[in-house]
């Protein structure tokens, strides 16, 4: 390996940015390695927050991390681009051309050399080939998609106000994204009712569709049951064991042949890694394009390639199912590599990754929150709800900020957000 190995991290999500930050601090600044982060976006937003950006209940400008500035402060290099291929023999990552919103080519196709390659590309919803979904449904998997949905939402709200007509929203997929987005939309319109139309919330007709027997299938049953009861109390329709067979311009076609009209449709079902991962040079993946990794997070086929977070799949010893594609798993895997990769680069061995389940939380905006505390801590496996659960959920984001920026800057960011909350509207109005 070269004296200063080139560590290339593809994907600036939760795991990728945290790993780049930690390795930049420890290896990049000291010159022990050249650390590069590749992402097609110029900014990072904590993915579990995207539903609030989509609803317009949180200011994206205050929450995003600008890669270029963050890289300067933490000893790594940021390269804008989207990966499209890999040459393992030459150890080269192939990047597609980069285009401006106008369609103009800004940067042509190029290649980035690596000695160590880390995939941290995350995942997106899986349409399962359902007809019409790509044409008629919104996705909330990235900041860009969240902002596109928010623009469409504001147009529909305006039409509803002017014409005094219902606002019909359908969300397919009752995982955390679908459930939390539903609650956030209700909260949005409750706040919006104070800006000129007190009846706007009453015109919201929202239906949540889930093909399985219960919502939040990855959560304990107590969390699922409590969350469904809260959504019904808000006034929403929850349809479990319901399969969506097609999306059309004005609604969804269901498995029983019926048509359910909708003005806005969101697809939040399934999990799938980027398609090109399933066609890489000799890298084994599963049907969802996730890279098969060993317990060291190295690819099954190449010691110099790692994958973590949603774009990887790992079944731990003694477990029947792979680790869930959650922010908790992605964070712990990034912390694991950040801790052990410096010694591995110097010739040491990598230990096996061990996951610690600290519980699961779902927040239904200001209405309620539910969760479990996992198998670590004082109240092992305990069920929590209400204000304590809401505070616990909010702390997850503050912990992410602190991991990226340090305690002092994270505190300043929180303070600035609180101050802006007093002087700015609580929802996006323009």
Residue 128 lies in a domain: no
Q: Where are the alpha helices (DSSP H) in 164-296?
A: 176-192, 221-234
Question: Which range has highest mean pLDDT (51-60, 328-337, 383-392)?
Answer: 328-337
SS3 label, residue 6: strand
The pLDDT assigned to 378 comes to: 52
Residue 355 lies in a domain: no
- Per residue in 271-309, pLDDT (tens digit) is 999 999 998 878 999 999 999 999 999 999 899 999 999
The count of structural domains within the chain is 3
State whether 56 and 92 are in the same domain: yes
State whether 204 and 173 are in the same domain: yes
Distance CA 27, CA 7 (A): 10
For the purposes of burial, counting CB atoms within 10 Å of the CB of 169, is it exposed (0-12), middle (13-18) or buried (19 or more)? Answer: buried
Name beta bridge partners: 267: 172
**pTM summary value:** 0.93
State whether 316 and 373 are in the same domain: no
DSSP state of 27: I
CB proximity list for 98: less than 8 A, separation 6 or greater: 40, 80, 81, 82, 105, 106, 107
Residue 26 lies in a domain: yes
The CATH number of whichever domain residue 144 belongs to comes to 3.50.50.60
The pLDDT assigned to 2 comes to: 54
State whether 212 and 325 are in the same domain: no
pLDDT at 9 over 70: yes
State whether 336 and 365 are in the same domain: no
Query: How much of the chain, in percent, has pLDDT values that exceed 90?
Result: 82
Q: Where are the alpha helices (DSSP H) in 235-275?
A: none
Distance CA 28, CA 44 (A): 20
- Per residue in 340-366, pLDDT (tens digit) is 999 999 999 999 999 998 888 999 999
For the purposes of burial, counting CB atoms within 10 Å of the CB of 154, is it exposed (0-12), middle (13-18) or buried (19 or more)? Answer: middle
State whether 253 and 369 are in the same domain: no
How would residue 375 be classed by pLDDT, with cut points 50, 70 and 90? low
Retrieve residue 16's tokens: 């990728």
Residue 1 lies in a domain: no
Residue whose tokens read 């969390």? 223
State whether 85 and 210 are in the same domain: no
Retrieve residue 344's tokens: 């591995």
Retrieve residue 44's tokens: 């990072």
Domain end: 267, 283, 316, which one?
A: 267
State whether 37 and 104 are in the same domain: yes
Q: Give the pLDDT mean for 220-242.
A: 96
State whether 327 and 365 are in the same domain: no
Tally of CB atoms within 10 A around 83? 23
Rounded to 10°, the helix 327-345/386-405 angle is: 30
Residue 430 lies in a domain: no
How would residue 165 be classed by pLDDT, with cut points 50, 70 and 90? very high
State whether 277 and 376 are in the same domain: no
CB 225 within 8 A of CB 238: no
Residue 17 lies in a domain: yes
Residue 352 lies in a domain: no
The pLDDT assigned to 225 comes to: 96
Distance CA 296, CA 317 (A): 12
How would residue 194 be classed by pLDDT, with cut points 50, 70 and 90? confident
pLDDT at 245 over 70: yes
Q: Give the pLDDT mean for 157-167.
A: 92
Total residue count of the chain as it appears in this document: 430
State whether 246 and 289 are in the same domain: no
Residue 222 lies in a domain: yes
b/e per residue, 308-340, with b = 16+ CB within 10 A? bbbbbbbeeeeeeebbebbbbbbbbbbbbbbeb
The pLDDT assigned to 157 comes to: 93
Domain end: 240, 267, 294, which one?
A: 267
How would residue 411 be classed by pLDDT, with cut points 50, 70 and 90? very high
Q: Structural domain of residue 242, as residue ranges? A: 133-267
State whether 296 and 366 are in the same domain: no
Domain end: 267, 296, 330, which one?
A: 267
């Amino acid at each position: 390996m070269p004296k200063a190995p080139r560590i290339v991290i593809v994907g600036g999500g939760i795991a990728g940015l945290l790993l780049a930050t930690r390795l930049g601090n420890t290896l990049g600044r000291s010159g022990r390695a050249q650390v590069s982060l590749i992402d097609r976006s110029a900014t990072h937003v904590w993915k579990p927050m995207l539903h609030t950006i989509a609803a317009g209940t949180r200011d994206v400008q205050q929450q995003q991390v600008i890669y270029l500035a963050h890289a300067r402060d933490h000893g790594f290099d940021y390269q804008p681009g989207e990966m499209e291929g890999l040459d393992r023999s030459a150890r080269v990552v192939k990047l597609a051309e980069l285009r401006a919103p106008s369609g103009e080519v800004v940067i042509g196709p190029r290649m980035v050399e690596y000695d160590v390659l880390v995939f941290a590309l995350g995942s997106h919803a899986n349409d399962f080939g359902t007809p019409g979904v790509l044409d008629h449904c919104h996705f909330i998997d990235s900041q860009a998609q969240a902002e596109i949905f928010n623009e469409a939402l504001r147009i529909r709200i305006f039409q509803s106000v002017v014409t005094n007509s219902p606002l019909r929203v359908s969300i397919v997929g009752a995982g955390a994204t679908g459930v939390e987005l539903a609650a956030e939309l209700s909260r949005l319109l409750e706040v919006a009712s104070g800006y000129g139309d007190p009846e706007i919330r009453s015109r919201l007709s929202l239906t949540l569709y889930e093909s399985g027997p219960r919502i939040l299938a990855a959560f304990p049953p107590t969390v699922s049951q409590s969350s469904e009861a809260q959504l019904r109390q808000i006034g929403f329709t929850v349809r479990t064991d319901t399969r969506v067979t097609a999306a059309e311009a004005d609604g969804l076609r269901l498995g029983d042949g019926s048509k359910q009209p909708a003005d806005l449709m969101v697809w939040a079902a399934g999990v799938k890694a980027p398609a090109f991962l399933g066609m890489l040079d000799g890298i084994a993946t599963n049907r969802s394009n996730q890279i098969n990794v060993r317990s060291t997070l190295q690819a099954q086929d190449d010691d110099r390639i790692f994958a973590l977070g949603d774009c990887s799949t790992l079944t731990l010893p003694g477990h029947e199912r792979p680790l869930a594609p959650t922010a908790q798993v992605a964070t712990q895997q990034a912390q694991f590599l950040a801790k052990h990769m410096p010694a591995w680069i110097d010739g040491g061995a990598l230990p096996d990754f061990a996951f610690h389940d600290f519980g699961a939380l779902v927040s239904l905006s200001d209405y309620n929150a539910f969760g479990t505390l996992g198998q670590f801590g004082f109240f092992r496996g305990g069920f929590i709800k209400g204000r304590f659960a809401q505070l616990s959920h909010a702390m997850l984001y503050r912990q992410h900020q602190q991991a990226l920026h340090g305690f002092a800057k994270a505190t300043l960011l929180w303070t600035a957000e609180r101050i802006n909350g007093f002087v700015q509207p609580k929802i996006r109005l323009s």
